Amino acid sequence: MSEAFEHGEQQSSGAPEAALSALLDGELTEFETRRLLDRVAEQPELAETWSRYSLARTVLEGDPCQLAPDGFSERVAAAIGHEPLPSRDTDTTDTGHRRCWVQPLGRVAVAASVAVAVFLGMELSLRSDDTGSGMMAGHDTSQPETGSIDVEAQRRLNEYIQSVAISGDRNTVDDAFSELESLRQTPQLRPVSDRELLPAREPLE
């Protein structure tokens, strides 16, 4: 090997230019790439070296190429400086559009589920105030109670739904109310009393 090439291998492979060479070959780790990008920002001559390494690759591949005029990459960099950062959050593809309407709908669905749970909880607490002593006296728990819905509980439920679904548009909130109303009509979600939920007790001696 000629004298001009007899550098210490460890020393030369640790140079940032060696990292550029490895990056061109796709042989750099993510960590090394991040570190190299920081070095390139500090040493603009590394960017020129990278550009020439890339040019050599393009010319050797035989692809069409044209020498970039001075300052071309700087002009592109200046132009993208005025652009918002691209990120996966700004996705506007089909998936992105789907995400746009699926996310609020999901929020409303969660809100509706929570509202149903709160509604049932309020029903329980309101009814236990009325019937707590009766239960202790051995009230019959075999038949479900299907009494009317409390007006105050209904009002508080409506307020709650409006507060959690505030991010959705008017139609979405209306849809949520309709959905909740239809849920109420199903036999599985009828208002129940606390006596139905409590385990049957042994009669007191």
The dihedral through the CA atoms of 196, 155, 150, 189 has a sign that is: negative
CB of 186 to other proteins, least distance (A): 42
The runs of H, that is alpha helices, within 43-169 are 44-61, 72-80, 94-136, 151-164
Q: Are 141 and 202 in contact (CB under 8 A)?
A: no
CB of 82 to other proteins, least distance (A): 10
Q: What's the CA gap between 53 and 23, in Å, rounded?
A: 10
Helix, coil or strand: residue 13: helix
25 vs 152 by CB, closer to other proteins: 25
Among positions 28, 164, 165, 176, the unique one binding other proteins when judged by CB under 8 A: 28
Residues 62-101 that bind other proteins (CB under 8 A): 62-69, 72-73, 75-77, 79-81, 83, 85-88, 90-91, 93
Computed on alpha carbons and rounded to an integer, the radius of gyration of the chain in Å comes to 35
Q: Does 152 bind other proteins (CB under 8 A)?
A: no
Q: Does 60 bind other proteins (CB under 8 A)?
A: yes
CB of 62 to other proteins, least distance (A): 8
Number of residues that bind other proteins (CB under 8 A): 64
5 vs 148 by CB, closer to other proteins: 5
Q: Does 109 bind other proteins (CB under 8 A)?
A: no
Q: What's the CA gap between 7 and 30, in Å, rounded?
A: 27
Q: To which residue do tokens 């509980």 refer?
A: 153
Of 53-61, 136-144, 166-174, 197-205, the window that binds other proteins (rule: CB under 8 A) is 53-61
Q: What element of type H or E holds 20?
A: helix 16-24
Residue 24 CA, distance from chain mean position:
34
Among positions 35, 47, 131, 156, the unique one binding other proteins when judged by CB under 8 A: 47
Q: Are 156 and 122 in contact (CB under 8 A)?
A: yes
Count of other CB atoms within 10 angstroms of residue 13: 13
Q: Does 128 bind other proteins (CB under 8 A)?
A: no
Chain residues binding other proteins by CB under 8 A are 1-2, 4-5, 7, 9-10, 12-13, 15, 17-18, 21-28, 30, 33-34, 37-38, 40-41, 47, 49-60, 62-69, 72-73, 75-77, 79-81, 83, 85-88, 90-91, 93
